[in-house]
Chains A and B, each alone.
Chain A
Amino acid sequence: MSTESDTPLLDELEKGPFPSFVSEIKKAAAKNKMALDELKQLEKSYRDKRGYWKHGGIVGIRGYGSGIIGRHSSLPQEFPGVADFHTVRVNSVSGFFYTSDSLRQICDIWDRHGSGLLNMHGSTGDIILLGTSTEKLEPVFAEFSSRGWDLGGSGSSLRTPSCCIGPARCEWANIDTLDIIYNLTQEFQDEMHRPAFPYKFKIKAAGCAVDCIGAIARADCSIIGTWRGHIVVDQSAVAEYAKQGMDIQAEIVNLCPTGCMVYDGRELYINDEDCSRCMHCISRMTKALRPAGEKGATILIGSKAPFVIGATLSWVLVPFMKLEPPYDEFKALLKKIWEYWDEHGKNRERLGELVIRRGMREFLEFVGVKPSPQQVKEPRRDPFFYWKDEDFRRQ
């Protein structure tokens, strides 16, 4: 009996201490032909150093323009199990909270209709179900839909909004990220399911600047919880941290991005006016420091992965906005942003790229937000704001 593996290159990815996606595909392949052919095609891709997937096209659910990503093998004769291998995006739950029953429900449906492979979660935040055939799409959707699930966003649409765990399990959340994302998802169903934007648009909400959801690096519009007030310092807890061996000068004060802190060896002082609410000190000294005052969010725009102009991080649009149900102020701002993008955006141009191309000034005038120092993207470099001659004329 031969001991030679059919997938020697993929086997390499099972070595080492980390969980391996190859092991998981092999488990699925033992009982599912699609997963088996997926494994074989992947091995061939590794061997030939090229991909064998084509994507896009016309597959979808009737009435929906997003949620299904058509995927086809370019070697259907060799790997018939993956001739069609469409991805289904299911709208995730705010904060990614599931009961084990709901997870079993998702897996059972997918075992019946797809490859059995899934990805929790994709970078957009959806539950990504990998691999089904065209004729199975409507039945899959019917099963999910009848149990209260819906498709997520894909293509040139609003992508499924996502958020951190927020106040459900985190004492530092300055905003109710879960409610905000649920509310926005319900409000903008049309924008999610019927693509009408120049390109994709992502919204992510983080409860504080620690940004566990990675909003600042991934979302066209980031909502990041903050506060307007000071940081309460418990000096006895500060002393306890020092006693436990924390080098407060090196680990806290020297790493403060605005240099707003002083430590005299006994007590910690914070100049709140210079604080940028980055959360570094608070997240390191959770027992000693606590934000106090009015809670709200900073609204940022523009981050994206590399495409036309390379990766960009978000920058501030609104330094502070009260975010309370029904979030009308934020929704009105979002609609103005989309209107501007719709008016001036080129096909496949992300919002950030558009604003960089045309300038922050025009954008601010259009959306009705006043210029403020916090919007300066990179201090001491490009001010990111184009002045007109009349700005310099004496009134």
Chain B
Amino acid sequence: MDKEELKKRIFELVEKSVGKKKLKSSDIQKIISADTGVARDYVKSALRNLVDDGTLIYTYFGGSFVEIPSKE
């Protein structure tokens, strides 16, 4: 799968979970890998790109999660 497409899938997953469940990095890797059939390392790499460019951020609320940054 194309990396840009993978990044889009990851973002959509995080977006859908807003207000429902905070996702850990490993949750995202497991879900996307199972859904798309691509290796977890590849998902991890796409997730890293999203964090590096600021599209997603890490947060800490009694554990480390991946979330969409607030617009403020």
Instruction: Verify if A197 is at the interface (C-beta below 8 Å from B).
Output: yes
Q: Quick one: which of A193-250 are within 8 Å of B by CB?
A: 194-199
Asked if residues B29 and A58 are in contact (CB atoms below 8 Å), the reply is no
In the complex, A116 has a CB within 8 A of chain B: no
Q: Which of A62, A63, A155, A196 has the most chain B CB within a 10 Å cutoff?
A: A196
The smallest C-beta distance from B62 to any residue of chain A, in angstroms, reads: 7
- Structural contact, A194 and B63, CB atoms closer than 8 A: no
- B17 lies within 8 A of chain A by Cβ: no
State whether A194 and B62 are in contact (beta carbons under 8 Å apart), knowing that A58-B57, A58-B70, A63-B51 are contacts in the complex.
no
B57 to chain A, nearest CB (A): 6
- Binary contact readout A293-333 vs B (1 if CB under 8 angstroms, 0 otherwise): 00000000000000000000000000000000000000000
For the complex, what is the distance from the CA of A195 to the CA of B29, rounded to whole Å? Answer: 12
Interface extent on B, as a size class?
Answer: 20 to 34
User: Separation in Å of the B40 CB from the closest CB of chain A?
Assistant: 9
A121 sits at the interface (CB 8 A): no
Q: Does B59 make an interface contact (CB < 8 A)? A: yes
- Indicate if the CB atoms of A194 and B48 lie closer than 8 Å: yes
Most B CB contacts (10 A, CB to CB) among A156, A190, A198 go to A156
Q: How far is the CB of B60 from chain A (nearest CB, A)?
A: 4
**Is A196 within 8 A of B57, CB to CB?**
no
Interface hits, B45-72 → A, CB 8 Å = 48, 51-52, 54, 57-64, 66-67, 69-70
CB distance from A214 to the nearest CB of B (A): 25
CA–CA, A56 and B64, complex, Å: 9
Query: Is B64 a contact partner of A65 (Cβ separation < 8 A)?
Result: yes
Cβ of B24 and Cβ of A156 under 8 Å apart?
A: yes
Select which of B26, B64, B70 is within 8 A of A66 by beta carbon. Answer: B64
Residues of B contacting A197 with CB < 8 Å?
A: 26
Query: Quick one: CB contact mask for A128-170 with B, threshold 8 Å, 1 for yes?
Result: 0000000000000000000000000011110000000000000
Is the beta-carbon distance between B60 and A194 smaller than 8 angstroms?
A: no
- The answer to whether B63 touches A199, judged by C-beta atoms less than 8 angstroms apart, is yes
Residue of A nearest to B59 (CB): A58
Contact A194 B51 (CB under 8 A): yes
Asked whether, in the complex, the Cβ of B51 is within 8 Å of the Cβ of A196, the reply is no
Inter-subunit contact B63/A65 (CB<8 Å): no
Q: B53: shortest Cβ distance to chain A, in Å?
A: 9
Residues of B within 8 A of A66 (CB): 58, 64
A347→B58 contact, CB < 8 A: no
B25 in contact with A195 (CB, 8 Å):
yes
A60 close to chain B: CB less than 8 A: yes
How far, in whole Å, are A58 and B67 apart by their CA atoms in the complex?
A: 9
Question: Which label, helix, strand, loop or mixed, suits the secondary structure of the B interface?
Answer: mixed
Chain A proximity of B12: nearest CB distance (Å): 20
Looking at the assembled complex, report how far the CB atom of A25 sits from the nearest CB atom of chain B, in whole angstroms. Answer: 26
**CA of A342 to CA of B67, assembled, Å:** 20
- Contact (Cβ within 8 A) A157 B60: no
Cα A157 to Cα B57 in complex, Å, equals 15
Indicate whether A348 reaches chain B with its CB closer than 8 angstroms: yes
Residue of chain B at shortest CB distance from A338? B26
Q: Which residue of A lies closest to B67 (CB)?
A: A58
Min CB–CB distance A191 → chain B (angstroms): 11
A21 at the B interface (CB under 8 A): no
Q: Does any Cβ of B come within 8 Å of A188's Cβ?
A: no
Distance (whole angstroms) from the CB of A53 to the closest CB of chain B: 14
Q: How far is the CA of A57 from the CA of B67 in the complex (A)?
A: 11
Interface string of B23-51 (1 = CB under 8 A from A): 01110010000000000000010001001
The 8 A-B residue pairs with the shortest CB-CB distance, nearest first, are A65-B58, A195-B64, A155-B64, A196-B25, A156-B64, A56-B60, A63-B52, A196-B26
Q: Which residues of B contact A (CB under 8 A)?
A: 24-26, 29, 44, 48, 51-52, 54, 57-64, 66-67, 69-70
Q: Pick 8 A–B contacts, CB within 8 A, sort by A.
A: A56-B61, A56-B62, A60-B57, A155-B60, A190-B48, A194-B48, A196-B29, A347-B63
Extra pairs beyond A58-B70, A66-B58, A66-B64 (7, CB < 8 Å):
A56-B61, A57-B59, A60-B58, A62-B54, A195-B25, A197-B26, A347-B24
